[in-house]
Amino acid sequence: MLFTCGLFQNKAFGQRDNIIDSLIYRVEVSKNDSAKIVSLIEIAKYYSSTNLSLSFQYADKALEIAQQSKNKQLHAQALMSIGNISFFQGLLDISFQHYSKALAINKETGNTNGIANALTNLGGILLQLMKFEEAKRYFHEALPLFIDLAEKRGDTIPPFQVISIYNNLGIAHENLNDYNMAIDYYHRGISLANRIPQQQRNLAMLHNNLGSIHMKMGAFDEAYKNMSAALIIRQEMNDKSGEASSYRMLGILYKSQQNYEKALSNFYNGYILAATVGSNAILASLNEQFFEVFNLLNQPDSALKYHILLKHYSDELKGEETLLEFSRMEITSQFQEKENIRLIEQRKQKLRYLFTAVLLLLGAVILGLLYVLSQSRLRRLSLLNNNIQLAAEKAALEKAALTKELEIKNKELTTNVIYQIRKNELINNIADKLMTNRHNFKKENQSLIKDIISELVSSKEDSIWMEFETRFHNVHNEFYEKLNEINPDLTPNERRLCAFLRLNMSTKEISSITGQSLRSIDVARTRLRQKLNLTNAEVGLIEYLSYI
């Protein structure tokens, strides 16, 4: 026999109903997910032996709340609950799936105790499936975890779960015909169970298993000692079903030694107890033993009687098994349907995630393209701005160059006019002096002096102002036209004065060129302001003319 970490105990029906009502009320009024889940799991445990379908409904509800709560510890706890219910009802595939999921979650959260319990129960399933080597690996992985947990808590005694592991390792080695190792593990389990309180049930089971293996090995005294120890413990616990099982084992022990009288005595004792508790499984097994013993004693009537009873209880068991199998099939079908729905929802969820991811990717691509385009646009704008700035700088440089060139030309123009005027003045002065003093020269030189005077007079530039205006027009080609548009009644002298002022010449400079007095020029400037409608204007005459 094997046992796992999750054992259910059934209460008396009246007491159980009161407890269930109390738990249901707690679920209804509680606002705490943890309290709801714990209560639902307890309800599922109570219904597990009487109403499998209802038990699964409460366990599924606990799992649903745990999943919605996003609490991984509660999720693992609910999965373990469904695994336990499934295990004790023989739904090993469903149980294995839920234990495996719980194991994965506990590993993810680092819950060492949860990992150890899940490993132990998975090993128990593999033991039921006769996969003994695989089962051993799970038990050996769980064992040090439980021991380490005890040491971290400062406990000197390992936890009770280690008893389960020792027992199950003994079963695995026994089925692998490694009897010595099996006996060693059974002894370890017995030693530990004697040190931990309230482990009588497990202690009796270990003694029974140890007695069974000694019987296989022919060590009948050791077998009897352990089987008797198991019986005494069960009697002290008032475990009628356990007592019946122990009497059955003692009967088999005596039968193997051909002590049929003591064998029948033990079988009878077990039969009475099994009938009292209504254990059809033990009754069927005992009837089979009665049939074999009476057959060996060559008592066909008695053998037939118990063979008929064997068939009766076997049929009862088959009926129970058939009903249980129907329940299993129903639960399996419901589970498969839920699992299919879950897988469909999972696929839908994956598709939603994929769709969302694609949308996000597209969004990222679009944003990336927009960013690239915006950066490209910014670069173009920056380049355009730089080009505009460069063009502006170039235009400014060109304007400055033109302004400089204009200033130079204005200076050249002014200088040329002054030069021509000074030159003519000089020629006039020389010619006048020669004419005035020609009588002072010798007669033979009179003709030469006259020729010199004639040449000087002929070398004068009579068209100075015409040349000035031509040069000025070449530099300021639209000045006279614009000036004429403003006031066509300006005299030539006023136009010339405008030209001098446009060249930014001072009154003194104009006086030296024209030979006019400063007063005359000031008067001419005042008259010019009037003609240009600048009398009351704040703008200066030179400034005004510079924009024409």
Q: What is the CATH number of the domain that holds 514?
A: 1.10.10
Indicate whether 316 belongs to any domain: no
Please tell me the predicted confidence (pLDDT) of residue 15.
58
The list of the chain residues with pLDDT below 70 reads: 1-16, 459-464
Indicate whether 246 belongs to any domain: yes
Please tell me the predicted confidence (pLDDT) of residue 79.
93
Please tell me the predicted confidence (pLDDT) of residue 511.
85
Please tell me the predicted confidence (pLDDT) of residue 460.
60
pLDDT tens sequence across 154-184: 988 999 999 999 999 999 999 999 999 999 9
Indicate whether 104 belongs to any domain: yes
Q: What is the CATH number of the domain that holds 216?
A: 1.25.40.10
Please tell me the predicted confidence (pLDDT) of residue 172.
97
Of 54, 78, 110, the residue that ends a domain is: 110
Indicate whether 499 belongs to any domain: yes
Indicate whether 294 belongs to any domain: yes
d(CA 161, CA 164): 5
d(CA 296, CA 227): 24
Please tell me the predicted confidence (pLDDT) of residue 109.
94
Indicate whether 414 belongs to any domain: no
Domain count, the chain: 3
Which is nearest to 73 in space by CA: 37, 24, 125, 29?
37
Indicate whether 18 belongs to any domain: yes
Any idea which residue has 């010595």 for tokens?
A: 180
Torsion of CA 117, 122, 128, 131, to 10 degrees: -130
d(CA 323, CA 492): 135
Of 249, 281, 298, the residue that ends a domain is: 298
Of 110, 128, 145, the residue that ends a domain is: 110
Indicate whether 251 belongs to any domain: yes
d(CA 133, CA 135): 5
Structural domain of residue 494, as residue ranges? Answer: 476-546
Angle at 430 between CA 426 and CA 431, to 5 degrees: 115
